[in-house]
Amino acid sequence: MSGEGSPRVRVPHAPGVRPAVAAIRWHAELVDRMLRRALDAAEQAGTAEPRVVRVPGSMELPVVCQQLAHDHDAVVALGVVIRGGTPHFEYVCESVTSGLGRVSLDEATAVGNGVLTVDTREQAVQRAGFEDSVEDKGFEAMSAALETALVLRELRGDYSSERGFL
């Protein structure tokens, strides 16, 4: 599993941070669970209530996240792309990953990448934050985006260097 060696997830104390989530409609059972877990992380962090928007598929995530970045401190993209029998998987994964990275840099806004790119549905289930999953990517993506938003505030002089974690 890809999470091997990852640090323990820390939920930052992030009152006043304005998060948003863009989630795809494909693979609804998986993405809905990841969304629930992302919202749980934001609630634990004490943020403003996240704005949630749904998009048709993963290819639409970067442009929607870019728009959300104009009015939010942290943006989380949630989706699932499962490999099929054509090269389409590689094109979608590369475009989404590059696009989200570009949004983060172009907008100087924290972007949490919670897009699962997997070979099988079973791998996605193991990463989607269910009770018996080994990873919790929705929760992790939100926690990372919130922590990054706080680091950016600190670097800009907008926040105390005493960042706390819950």
Asked whether the CA dihedral 39, 72, 65, 154 is positive or negative, the reply is negative
118 is in an annotated binding site: no
Domain presence at residue 12: no
Q: How many CA atoms lie within 13 A of 40 on its CB side?
A: 14
Domain presence at residue 150: no
97 is in an annotated binding site: no
Ranges of the chain with pLDDT below 50: 1
Write down the pLDDT at residue 93: 95
| Catalytic status, residue 70 | no
Domain presence at residue 103: yes
Domain count for the chain = 1
Write down the pLDDT at residue 107: 98
Range of the structural domain that residue 137 is part of: 21-28+49-144
Domain presence at residue 120: yes
Domain presence at residue 37: no
Write down the pLDDT at residue 59: 97
113 is in an annotated binding site: yes
CATH number of the domain to which 125 belongs: 3.40.50.960
DSSP 47: P
Domain presence at residue 1: no
Domain presence at residue 131: yes
